[in-house]
Amino acid sequence: MLEKETLLSPGRPEAPRTQKRRYWLHLIGLLAAVLLLRFICDALDAVSWGGYEAWMVAQCPQVEPLVPSQKTPSLREMDNYLASNKFRNESIARMSGAVQVPSQSYDDLGPIGEDKRWDIMYEMAAYLEKTFPLVHSALQWEKVNTHGLLYTWEGSDKSLKPTVLMAHQDVVPVAEATVGQWTHPPFEGFYDGEYIWGRGASDDKTNLIGILEAVELLIDAGFKPARTLVLSFGFDEEISGEQGAGRLASVLVDRYGKHGAAVIVDEGSGVYGAWGSTFFVPGVAEKGYIDVEIIVRMPGGHSSVPPAHNGIGVMSELITMIEANPYEPRLYSENPYLGFLKCGAAHSPEFPPKLRKLLPTHRDTACHKKDKLALEAAKAGDLIKYLFTTSLAPDVISGGVKNNALPERTRVLVNHRVNIGEHSSDVKAKLTDLAETVAKKYNLTVHAFTDEAETPLSISLKAGPLTLEPAPVTPTSVEGVTPYSVLSGTTRALYGTDLLMAPGLMPGNTDTRYYWDLTRHIFRFNPGWDPKQEGMGNIHTVDENVSVLAHIRTVQWYSMFIRNMDEASMA
């Protein structure tokens, strides 16, 4: 009987018993595959745990302090001068003068040469030329796109790739409504005995002036570089940097070629205290960026006869759905915060036990749909969570034109900062899926990231003019002599070996976005630190300030880093 059932001729339907058997065979095979995958995952985890101790020690090696070996009498005198009250007082005056130049950049600036608000940058350049005469006489000085400042100190060894130091001249505007809230006027450059107050004091004139002070002193001390030094100062970083850094980067890539620089240091992150330790965390990556404009088109009409849902209602439903479907925290292997966690596990006595347990089993595989390590780390709060989570924020909304007319066009702008390891295409796919769900409910057409014109009864999705993928991640190997090892060694030489180095991440974007082709070794780093100054000096808000101690240490760090890079045994 069984043979007759299993030898049915082709084309005839299978007997019920045969269908049932095939069903069970498929189910057993699926269960076996799941069990095998689980076995492989458990085996990998066991291997990880077996080598845990050795793994932990090797995750975050700390380099020894690196002090320049060249010690001429003039350089020794310079180092002593940097630690003197005389230099402190002179540096305060220079910083105060720089803050007094209101070099504000505005989102609605017109073309250079037409919009007179750009002209304040002439005053900024004139101040720098007057304040740093040796820099402007000894270095090749160029203006790029009128206000971009490019200085080149030619080295004697042309086989060495140049060191590039960056800063920006412009500052965030001060809103008229907030002027009265400042403890000291925003462009007075007031010094209170400990801090210099004013817009731009922290972002980014401490680096701008600090770099120039270091180079001015090195020239005066008779230092002759073997490795070319390039100073590249943009003037519109606060409004995307296209006119400044965008043009400066093109000049440098044309001049030195792709990957033609040894290292770039620009503004960025600094000190972070965690788990009973103090870390310097130079930014070795930046999250991506994409704005998405969503437009709902629905019929208008008189408000006295409204439909059940008009365009604003439909848009509200879509926004609610977007916010109800946030991105999952996920620590991809290339994310610097994963490296920071490993440094914490290796060196910090108060590192959380749960994170310590999850670290050795963490990997990007199909074994775990949920990233348990990322979910646990995210419990530290949003400031931490968004270092490894794509963010979304509906920031601008408009719709309707009159109180008795139904809205025909409703618009929202949703901002995203894309997680390291993910892509802008992930954002587009997710929003398209959500828009199609709403569109199906209301019988609307979806135009998702195409050149199609808006049509009645539709939802259109368009990417904003600036879309950035996450930045390439800077290597942080310290095997041999590397840019990261030089940066780390310089920092530990200045601050001592109690301070730890770990890779950091910039959730926002700096002028370095234009320099990816110039080198793989880009560090977003504020090297000045005063333990008494909390946070980032109120950047972008009322009462921005910088500690004088932090500023002096900024100058000391740049002076040491330039010399250490000059002596580094790498191309």
Q: Higher-confidence residue: 466 or 264?
A: 264
Q: State mean pLDDT over 400-413.
A: 96
CA-nearest of 7, 471, 498 to 273 is 498
Position 533 pLDDT exceeds 90: no
Which range has highest mean pLDDT (32-41, 66-75, 367-376)? 66-75
pLDDT digits (tens, 9 = 90+) for 101-145: 999 999 999 999 999 999 999 999 999 999 999 999 999 999 999
**Long-range contacts of 45-49, Cβ-Cβ distance < 8 Å, separation of 24 or more:** 45/360, 45/361, 48/360, 48/361, 49/360, 49/361
- For the CA atoms of the chain, what is the radius of gyration? 29
Burial of 28 (0-12, 13-18, 19+ CB in 10 A): exposed
Out of 3.40.190.10, 2.60.120.260, 3.40.630.10, 3.90.25.10, select the CATH number for domain 73-269+530-560: 3.40.630.10
Position 469 pLDDT exceeds 80: yes
What CA–CA distance (Å, rounded) separates 53 from 146? 57
Looking at residue 523, its pLDDT comes to 98
Looking at residue 15, its pLDDT comes to 60
Q: How many CB atoms lie within 10 A of CB 366?
A: 8
Coil, helix or strand at residue 277: strand
What CA–CA distance (Å, rounded) separates 428 from 497? 46
Q: State mean pLDDT over 502-517.
A: 95
CA-nearest of 272, 298, 255, 320 to 515 is 255
What CA–CA distance (Å, rounded) separates 54 from 197? 48
Phi, psi of 68 (to 5 degrees): -55, 135
511 is known to lie in a ligand binding site: no
Domains 73-269+530-560 and 287-361+371-468 share a fold: no
Beta strand 545-547 with 391-399: parallel, antiparallel or unpaired?
Answer: unpaired
CA-nearest of 221, 235, 200 to 100 is 200
Q: Answer for the pair 28, 40: CB distance below 8 angstroms, yes or no.
A: no
Q: State mean pLDDT over 419-435.
A: 97
Tokens of 488: 């780390």
What CA–CA distance (Å, rounded) separates 62 from 499? 10
Q: Answer for the pair 92, 548: CB distance below 8 angstroms, yes or no.
A: yes
What CA–CA distance (Å, rounded) separates 414 from 294? 8
What CA–CA distance (Å, rounded) separates 303 from 151? 63
Q: Answer for the pair 299, 312: CB distance below 8 angstroms, yes or no.
A: no
- Give percent helix, percent strand, percent coil of the chain, each to the nearest 5: 40, 20, 40
Confidence class for position 270, pLDDT limits 50, 70, 90: very high
Q: Answer for the pair 475, 484: CB distance below 8 angstroms, yes or no.
A: yes
Q: Answer for the pair 92, 198: CB distance below 8 angstroms, yes or no.
A: no
For the whole model, what pTM was predicted? 0.88
Q: Answer for the pair 394, 319: CB distance below 8 angstroms, yes or no.
A: yes
Looking at residue 14, its pLDDT comes to 53
> Cα dist. 453→67, 297, 448 in Å?
62, 11, 11
543 is known to lie in a ligand binding site: no
pLDDT digits (tens, 9 = 90+) for 322-349: 999 999 999 999 999 999 999 999 999 9
Confidence class for position 17, pLDDT limits 50, 70, 90: low
Q: State mean pLDDT over 312-316.
A: 97
Q: Which helix (H) or strand (E) holds 280?
A: strand 277-280
Tokens of 497: 């070996």
540 is known to lie in a ligand binding site: yes
DSSP structural state of residue 104: B
Tokens of 333: 């292997």
Position 7 pLDDT exceeds 80: no
Place of tokens 């745990």: 49
Q: Answer for the pair 63, 492: CB distance below 8 angstroms, yes or no.
A: yes
Position 259 pLDDT exceeds 90: yes
Position 535 pLDDT exceeds 90: no
Burial letters for 397-433: b for 16+ Cβ neighbours within 10 Å, e otherwise? eebbeeeeebbbbbbbbbebbbbbbbebebbbebbbe
Tokens of 552: 């002096």
Tell how far CA 244 is from the center of its chain: 19
Position 23 pLDDT exceeds 80: no
Looking at residue 536, its pLDDT comes to 79
Place of tokens 């402190």: 88
CA-nearest of 102, 182, 172 to 542 is 182
What CA–CA distance (Å, rounded) separates 512 from 206? 18
* Residues carrying an active site annotation: 170, 237
Q: Which fold has domain 287-361+371-468?
A: Alpha-Beta Plaits (3.30.70)
The residue extents of the domains of the chain are 73-269+530-560, 287-361+371-468
Looking at residue 32, its pLDDT comes to 64
Q: State mean pLDDT over 267-278.
A: 94
Q: Answer for the pair 59, 342: CB distance below 8 angstroms, yes or no.
A: yes
pLDDT digits (tens, 9 = 90+) for 166-207: 999 999 999 999 999 999 999 999 999 999 999 999 999 999
Enumerate residues 6+ apart whose C-beta is below 8 A from 290: 416, 418, 424, 427, 428, 463, 464, 467, 468
